[in-house]
A and B are shown apart, each in its own frame.
Chain A
Amino acid sequence: MSDASAVVALIPRLRAICGDAHVVTQHDELRTYASDGLLQYAVTPGVVVLPGSGTEVRDVVRACHEVSVPWVARGSGSGLSGGALPVEDGVLIGLSRLKAVVEVDLDNQRVVVEPGVTNVAVSAAVGPTHFYPPDPSSQIVCSIGGNVAENSGGAHCFKYGFTTNYVTGLEVVLADGEVVQVGGKELDRPGYDLLGALVGSEGTLAVVTRITLRVVPAPDHVETMVAFFESTSDAGEVVSEIVSAGITPAAIEMMDGLAISASEQMAHAGYPLDAGACLLIELDGPHEECRARLDEVIALCERHGGRDLRVAQDEPERQLLWKTRKAAFPAAARISPHYFVQDGVIPRTQLPEVLRRIDALAAEYDMRVANVFHAGDGNLHPLVCYSGPEDAARAEELAGRILAACVELGGSLTGEHGIGVDKKAHMPKMFDESDLQAFQKLRCAFDPGGLANPGKIMPTPRLCGEVPGPFREHPLERAGLAERF
């Protein structure tokens, strides 16, 4: 049976599990799911299922396992690394119907949700007394299941940490269709840190059907300010001094001149277009502590030539400052018809050096690069601008060289977007063969058949040595594209 016909043969069973209305087979409709937030990659899946419960997810995965059909789980499809890119002869499992807030347990500061719940809805469910800190820019649409898969961060993770620091329990369906409970509401279940392994595994180990999250008391007070500087190095110096002074702002965001002018065109916040850089700094916590730290931060900004300082006077103004920052990506379209968003990380002290290298690379390629950073934790989002499809390959090459510079400076290929398909070719820049083999060991422990989101993370396809059940030659083996370890 060919791979394509295996998927086709599975369709009646998928319809029996999810109901006819929730199994998509028409080519036009399937194409809707061909890409996630990274539009450069598109693969039309064999079939899309939209299960309505964890049980249906389990039955779908089990059905796939029985006939060795690969599958990809998808949340809101807002990921930026192609992590939810479908497999042509596989099943795409859309989790958007699983959107129940199952339990709010504020006594224990926990909330239990299904994976299709949006990030912002989690905070809404526990507010106003509590909130869920990880806040990716896409939080209005992105799903918590996707956040778990990618270990999402956001602007506030410098102070509050990442998704992995907040997940205390998961119900997952393993690739063989078995449902297991990992962790719970309590911390430190005896045994290996399977939660740590699962969060950020980009959907390659299992599919999550229920999530228990820790939430924290909402801060008493918030102060948000912007300041403008001659150059990114001046702004970078301020960031370093804030951190050295022992101040931990909730967020420190930086934009360079190009990003400022693009954002201003869209948000109209009245930002000075001649500035070389701006910092958006947010402090939260007890009122008195916030005010004291704000004064220190303002003094540091002024010492480094900060000007046009502006402290938000009310919530609408705070929202405007954030809107201007979050507009940076969509606003890039105003300055360039096409762009690649990158997601590199460097040790914070290497900020001036990496900016120097990005400038040099931009000059070498004669392309513009706008820079937006989560500066507190050294997470860069360079936007590589290019004019048309004919330049796409060169722009991608430039983006790749920026990543290489990040790794050379002691950083990482990705801070929050994930490896997915987009960066898997770069993995050998950061990890050598024995590292990749160790990754593969984890993969094989969870999914020996390699059916969960194949073709992501690892630079070359790999298979596991011991697959339970009757031996079957993997399609990749048959095609001579992979060997068994």
Chain B
Amino acid sequence: METVASRTETPGSAQEAAALLRASERVRIRGGGTRSGWGHVTPAPDVVLLTAGLDSVVEHNEGDLTAVLQAGVPLRAAQERFAAAGQMLALDPPGAPESTVGGVFATGDSGPLRHRYGAARDLIVGITVAQPDGSVAKAGGKVIKNVAGYDLSKLFTGAFGTLGLIAQVAVRLHPRPPQALTARGIGDDAERLAAAASALAHRPLEAECLDVAWSDGRGAVLARFGGATAERGAETSATVLREHGCEADVVEDDAALWQRQREHQRSTGATVVKVSGLPADLPKALRAADALGGTLVGRAALGLWWITLPGGAEAVQKLRAALTPAPCVVADAPEDVRNAVDPWHTDAAEPLVLLRRVKQQFDPAGVCNPGLYVGGI
């Protein structure tokens, strides 16, 4: 636990960050601190490296629909800037206002927009990283289409800062669709609700978001549409939902619905498990959540579900057993839970031997966020 961090540093450039990494033994990298409770519980570092000094929107190329952002820029501030031009970074993870671009990319977190626009890995087009050998390296560029060199942007996205510090990212933006409407279908039969979600997922409707929510034996499928023909998409979806036995309506003022979906990916007291499943296994996930007294929100067509459990480590183990072989990663959870179970579900992770070899190359001395990541990397 980060109780007695001896020193805090706030580098003002990627070069300064790299020099600090090189001069330190154990560093904890911190953006807005809104996801610092994820991963293994780790001993106090020598240095906490704050990205708050890397706080500029370097470029917003409206005509090219791209932007270059330093890591410490709050995501919300960047979004406000893009919105003024009718654009967005199509990444809407839950997060407090202090949540930073660097933190979102380092953790690979995402929200409902992932349904249409993909994850952080799909939106990043270039990266600049400060490395523990004291150097600054970049990969990719700032154009959307680019296959020059290895795609280190993706490698660093979701790496939780264990390969180096993300100093800057170049991202693809999208037009912000005017006018949004949501078709909502409510039901209390897990199988039928999942079938309704699946029917929408298999139609070429081009929904912005397609989510599911479930608690106390009752749930909803939500399909959001934007743009000139949003109404048509929502009406068609409502019809499909009714055909599958849901009570369906179209919600015009839908912001609160989606805010709730995002918020339920987080918890301050309970344990949240992110499940990487197969879309067709949604009924199984709904039943597992019910059996453990939990609630579920997630991306219906992607098989990504966040299950909030009232119980501790034992409930996590039961959930993993019920959903085997799906990876079930503990996100928000009390420290005793994260100490009692492997939060990363390493048995279901990418090949550990390769993960270690990658870490060994980029951070051989184990300077960056040591012990935090999969397999104790």
Given A108-B303, A286-B206, A289-B228, does the pair A151, B361 have CB atoms closer than 8 Å? Answer: no
Tell me which residues across on chain B come within 8 A of A434, comparing CB atoms. 131, 135-137
- Do residues A189 and B204 form an inter-chain contact, with CB atoms below 8 A? no
Of the candidates B148, B202, B276, the one whose C-beta lies within 8 Å of that of A414 is: B148
Q: Is A188 part of the contact surface with B, judged by Cβ < 8 Å?
A: yes
- Beyond A194-B354, A412-B141, whether A187 also contacts B122 by CB under 8 A is no
Which one of B4-12, B309-317, B344-352 is at the interface? B344-352
CB-nearest residue of chain B to A241: B63
| A244 in the interface (beta carbon within 8 A) | yes
5 further contact pairs, Cβ within 8 A, besides A189-B349, A377-B144, A457-B150? A108-B279, A190-B350, A192-B158, A193-B155, A197-B155
Chain A neighbourhood of B227, CB < 8 A = 246, 289
Interchain CB contact under 8 A, A442 and B150: yes
| Residues of B close to A219: CB separation below 8 A | 204
Contacts of B158 in A (CB 8 A): 188, 192-193
* Chain A residues with CB below 8 A from B157, complex form: 193, 196
A188 partner, pick from B108, B154, B178, B278, beta carbons under 8 A: B108
- In the bound complex, do residue A441 and residue B362 qualify as a contact, i.e. CB atoms below 8 Å apart? yes
In the complex, chain B residues whose CB is within 8 Å of the CB of A286: 204-206, 229, 232-233
Residues of B within 8 A of A412 (CB): 141, 143, 145-148
Nearest-CB residue, chain A, relative to B347: A190
Asked if B204 and A217 sit within 8 Å, CB to CB, the answer is yes
Binds B, one of A91-99, A157-165, A301-309: A157-165
In the assembled complex, how far is the CB of residue A298 from the closest CB belonging to chain B, in whole angstroms? Answer: 16
A435-B206 contact given A192-B159, A193-B158, CB 8 Å threshold: no
Check: B357 CB closer than 8 A to any chain A CB: yes
Assess the A201–B150 pair: CB atoms within 8 A: yes
A111 CB, min distance to chain B CBs, angstroms: 14
Which of B145, B148, B277 has a CB less than 8 Å from the CB of A427?
B148
Q: How far does the alpha carbon of A109 sit from the alpha carbon of B203 in the complex, in Å?
A: 12
**A190, A193, A347 pick with most chain B CB within 10 angstroms:** A190
Which of B198, B276, B361 contacts A189, CB < 8 Å? Answer: B276
Specify the chain A residue showing the minimal Cβ separation from B357. A445
Is A411 an interface residue when CB atoms closer than 8 A count as contact?
Answer: yes
- The CA-CA distance from A443 to B152 in the complex, in Å, is 11
In chain B between 106 and 161, which residues have their CB closer than 8 angstroms to a CB of chain A? 108, 118-119, 121-122, 129, 131, 135-139, 141-155, 157-159
A124 to chain B, nearest CB (A): 18
Give chain B nearest CB distance to A92 CB in angstroms: 22
Docked CA distance A243–B62 (Å): 10
Q: Does B77 contact A (CB under 8 A)?
A: no
Interface string of B186-227 (1 = CB under 8 A from A): 000000000000100111111000000000000000000001
With a cutoff of 8 Å between Cβ atoms, the chain A residues found around residue B174 in the complex are: 248
What are 12 A-B interface contacts by the 8 Å CB criterion? A108-B303, A153-B145, A188-B119, A193-B155, A194-B155, A194-B354, A196-B121, A243-B63, A288-B232, A418-B147, A434-B137, A438-B362
Interface residues of A (CB under 8 A from B): 106-109, 129, 150-151, 153, 157, 161-162, 164-165, 174, 178, 180-183, 185-197, 199-201, 216-220, 240, 243-244, 246, 248, 285-286, 288-289, 292, 345-349, 374, 377-379, 410-419, 423, 427, 430-431, 434-435, 437-439, 441-446, 457
Contact-residue bracket for chain B: 35 or more
Q: Are B155 and A107 in contact (CB under 8 A)?
A: no
* Chain A residues within 8 Å of B64, by CB: 347-349, 378
Which 6 pairs show the lowest CB-CB distances between chains A and B?
Answer: A196-B154, A246-B175, A191-B350, A438-B137, A349-B63, A441-B361
* Contact partner, B206, options A192, A285, A377, Cβ 8 Å: A285
- CB neighbours of B303 from chain A (8 A): 108, 186-187
How far is B55's CA from A218's CA once the two chains are assembled, in angstroms?
Answer: 42
In Å, the complex CA distance between A411 and B61 comes to 13
Contacts of B149 in A (CB 8 A): 419, 427, 430-431, 435, 439, 457
Asked if B74 is an interface residue, CB under 8 A from chain A, the answer is: no
Beyond A107-B280, A188-B304, A437-B137, is A150–B147 a contact (Cβ under 8 Å)? yes
Q: Given A108-B303, A438-B131, A439-B150, are A182 and B63 also a contact pair (CB < 8 Å)?
A: no
Cβ of B3 to closest chain A Cβ, rounded Å: 26
